[in-house]
A and B are shown apart, each in its own frame.
Chain A
Amino acid sequence: MADISTTKVSGSNRLATGWTRSKSTLQRQGPLIALVILVLFGAFRYDNFFSTYNFLTVVSYNTTFGLIALGMTFVMMTGGIDLSVGSLAALCSVVAALASPFGLLAAIGAAALAGLIVGLFNGWVIAWLRIPPFLATLAMLLAARGMALVLAKDATVSVNATSDWAGLSQGILFGIPLPVFLLLAYAIGSIVLNLTRFGRHVLAIGGNEEAARLMGLPVERIKLAVYAISGVLAGLAGALLAGQTFTGSPNEAVGWELTAIAAVVVGGTLLTGGMGSVWGSLVGVLLLGLVFNILNFENGFGFISLGVSWQSVIRGVFLLIVVLVQSRLTRAKKVRLGQEPSGP
Chain B
Amino acid sequence: MNQSDPLLQMEHISKAFPGVVALVDAHLSVNRGEVHALVGQNGAGKSTLIKIFTGAYRRDSGSIIFDGRAIDFQSPQQAQNNGISTIYQEINLVPFRSVAENVFMTREPRRWGFIDWRKMRAETATLLKRLSVSIDVTQPLMNYNIAIQQMVAIARAISFESKLVVMDEPTSSLNEREVETLFTIIRQLKADGVSVIFVGHRLDELYAICDRVTIMRDGRTVDVREMKGLPKVELVAKMLGKDLGEVRRHGQTSFEVGQHHVEQEVLLEARGLRRGRVLQGASVNVHAGEIVGLAGLLGSGRSEVARAVFGADPLEQGEVRVEGKQVHFHSPADAIHAGIGFCPEDRKMDGIIPYLSVRENLTLAALPTLARNGIVSREKQQEIVDHFIRRLGIKTTGPEQKIRELSGGNQQKVLLARWLCLNPKLLILDEPTRGIDVGAKAEIQALIEELAEKGLGVLMISSELEELLEGSDRVVVLHDGQTVASLDRQDISLNAVLAVMAHGDDDNSLETANKEEDVQHGEA
Whether A and B touch (Cβ < 8 Å) is answered with: yes
A177 within 8 Å of B (CB atoms): no
CA distance A21 to B136 in the complex (A): 13
The answer on a CB contact under 8 Å between A336 and B142 is yes
Report the Cα distance A214→B168, complex, angstroms.
15
Do A214 and B92 touch across chains, with their CB atoms under 8 A apart? yes
Known: A2-B132, A4-B147. A208 touches B115 (CB 8 A): no
Q: Which of B91, B117, B140, B148 has the most CB of A within 10 A?
A: B140
Tell me the bound Cα distance from A196 to B275 in angstroms. Answer: 44
Does B77 have its Cβ within 8 Å of any Cβ on chain A? yes
- Which one of A3, A197, A212 has the greatest number of beta carbons of chain B within 10 Å? A197
Contact A215 B105 (CB under 8 A): yes
Are A211 and B106 interface neighbours, CB within 8 A?
Answer: no
| Given A7-B177, A333-B95; A196-B115 close (CB under 8 Å) | yes
Tell me the residues in window 45-60 of chain A with beta carbons closer than 8 Å to chain B beta carbons.
Answer: none
B115 contact set on A, CB distance < 8 A? 194-197, 200
Q: Which residues of chain B are within 8 angstroms of A214 by Cβ–Cβ distance?
A: 76, 92
Interface 1/0 per residue, B79-106 and A, CB below 8 Å: 0100000000001111111000100011
Does B143 contact A5, Cβ atoms closer than 8 Å? no
* In contact, B143 and A20 (Cβ under 8 angstroms): yes
Indicate whether B211 reaches chain A with its CB closer than 8 angstroms.
no
Is A211 a contact of B180 with CB atoms below 8 Å?
Answer: no
CB-based A-B contact count at 8 angstroms? 115
- The listed residue with most A CB atoms (<10 A of its CB), out of B93, B146, B175, B314, is B93
Which single member of B101, B145, B173 contacts A9 (CB below 8 Å)? B145
Q: Which of A5, A195, A275 contacts B135 (CB 8 A)?
A: A5
Any A CB within 8 A of the CB of B17? no
Number of interface residues of B (CB under 8 A): 43
Given A10-B145, A197-B110, A336-B142, the answer on whether A211 and B151 have CB atoms closer than 8 Å is no
Q: Output the least CB separation between B149 and chain A (Å).
A: 8
Name the one of B97, B132, B275 contacting A200, with C-beta atoms under 8 angstroms: B97
Other-chain residue from A1, A195, A216 in contact with B80 (beta carbon distance below 8 A): A216
- Closest partner residue, chain A, to B178 (CB atom): A4
B169 at the interface (CB under 8 A from A): no
Q: Note all chain A residues with C-beta closer than 8 A to B101.
A: 200, 204
User: Are A211's CB and B93's CB within 8 A?
Assistant: yes
Within 8 A of B (CB), among A114-151: none
List B contacts of A196 (CB < 8 A). 113-115
User: A207 at the A/B interface (Cβ < 8 Å)?
Assistant: yes
Contacts of B97 in A (CB 8 A): 200, 203-204, 207
Q: Which of A197, A212, A338 contacts B94 (CB 8 A)?
A: A212
Assembled-state Cα–Cα distance A1/B177 (Å): 12
Which residues of B have CB within 8 Å of A197?
106, 108, 110, 115
Q: How far is B244's CA from A144's CA once the two chains are assembled, in angstroms?
A: 74
Contact A195 B114 (CB under 8 A): yes
Question: In the complex, which of the residues A4, A194, A338 contacts B151, with contact meaning CB atoms closer than 8 Å?
Answer: A4
In the complex, chain B residues whose CB is within 8 Å of the CB of A10? 145, 175
In the bound assembly, the distance between CA atoms of A235 and B314 in angstroms comes to 52
Residue A312 is within 8 A (CB to CB) of chain B in the complex? no
Give B117-142 as 1s and 0s: 1 = Cβ < 8 Å from A's Cβ atoms: 10000000000000011110000101
Q: A2-B184, A3-B134, A214-B76 are in contact. Are A337 and B95 (CB under 8 A)?
A: yes
Task: Report the nearest A residue to B111, measured CB to CB.
Answer: A195
How far, in Å, is B190 (CB) from chain A's closest CB? Answer: 15
CB distance from A343 to the nearest CB of B (A): 4
- Quote the shortest CB–CB distance from B425 to chain A (angstroms): 27
Cβ A341 vs Cβ B276 within 8 A:
yes
Complex contacts, B145 vs chain A, CB 8 Å:
9-10, 13, 336
User: Residues of B contacting A215 with CB < 8 Å?
Assistant: 77, 92-93, 105-106
* Chain A, range 187-224, C-beta contacts under 8 Å to B: 191, 194-197, 200-201, 203-204, 206-208, 210-212, 214-217
- Assess the A216–B106 pair: CB atoms within 8 A: yes
CA distance A10 to B146 in the complex (A): 11
Residues of B with C-beta under 8 A to A250: none
- Decide: B96 and A203 in contact? CB cutoff 8 A: yes
A333-B142 contact given A7-B178, A217-B105, A338-B173, CB 8 Å threshold: yes
Query: Distance (Å) between the CB of A199 and the closest chain B CB?
Result: 8
How many chain A residues touch B (Cβ–Cβ < 8 Å)? 41
In whole Å, how far is B519's beta carbon from the nearest beta carbon of chain A?
38
Residue of B nearest to A218 (CB): B106
Q: Within 8 Å CB of A207, what residues of B?
A: 94-97
A17 interface contact, C-beta 8 A: yes
A196, chain B: closest CB distance, angstroms: 6
Residues of chain B within 8 A of A344, CB atoms compared: 314
Q: Is the CB of B143 within 8 A of A21?
A: yes
CB of A315 to closest CB in B, whole Å: 26
**With an 8 A cutoff between CB atoms, is A267 at the interface?**
no
| A17 in contact with B313 (CB, 8 Å) | no
Asked if B143 and A343 make an inter-chain contact with CB atoms under 8 angstroms apart, the answer reads no
Which of A4, A21, A343 lies at the interface centre, i.e. has the most chain B CB atoms within 10 A of its CB? A4
For the complex, give the distance between the alpha carbons of A191 and B112 in Å: 13
- Set B80, B92, B135, B143: member contacting A210, Cβ < 8 A: B92
Q: Smallest CB–CB gap between A336 and chain B, Å?
A: 6
> How long is the Cα–Cα vector from A344 to B101 in the complex, in angstroms?
33
* Closest chain B CB from A327 CB (angstroms): 15
B279 to chain A, nearest CB (A): 11
Cross-chain contact B146 with A337 (CB below 8 angstroms) = yes
A171 within 8 A of B: no
Residue of A201, A216, A344 contacting most chain B CB atoms (<10 Å): A216
Q: Which 5 residue pairs are nearest across A and B when measured between Cβ atoms?
A: A216-B77, A343-B314, A207-B94, A207-B96, A211-B92
Residues of B within 8 A of A (CB): 76-77, 80, 91-97, 101, 105-106, 108, 110, 113-115, 117, 132-135, 140, 142-148, 151, 173, 175, 177-178, 180-181, 184, 275-276, 313-314
17 interchain pairs, CB-CB under 8 A? A4-B132, A4-B148, A10-B175, A13-B145, A195-B117, A197-B106, A200-B97, A200-B101, A200-B115, A203-B96, A203-B97, A204-B97, A204-B105, A214-B92, A215-B106, A333-B95, A341-B275
Q: A200-B101, A333-B142 are in contact. List 18 more A-B contacts (CB 8 A).
A: A1-B132, A4-B133, A4-B178, A9-B144, A20-B140, A20-B143, A196-B113, A196-B115, A197-B106, A203-B94, A204-B94, A208-B92, A208-B94, A210-B92, A214-B92, A215-B93, A217-B105, A337-B95
Please list the residues of chain A having a beta carbon within 8 angstroms of any beta carbon in chain B.
1-7, 9-10, 13, 17, 20-21, 191, 194-197, 200-201, 203-204, 206-208, 210-212, 214-217, 274-275, 333, 336-338, 341, 343-344
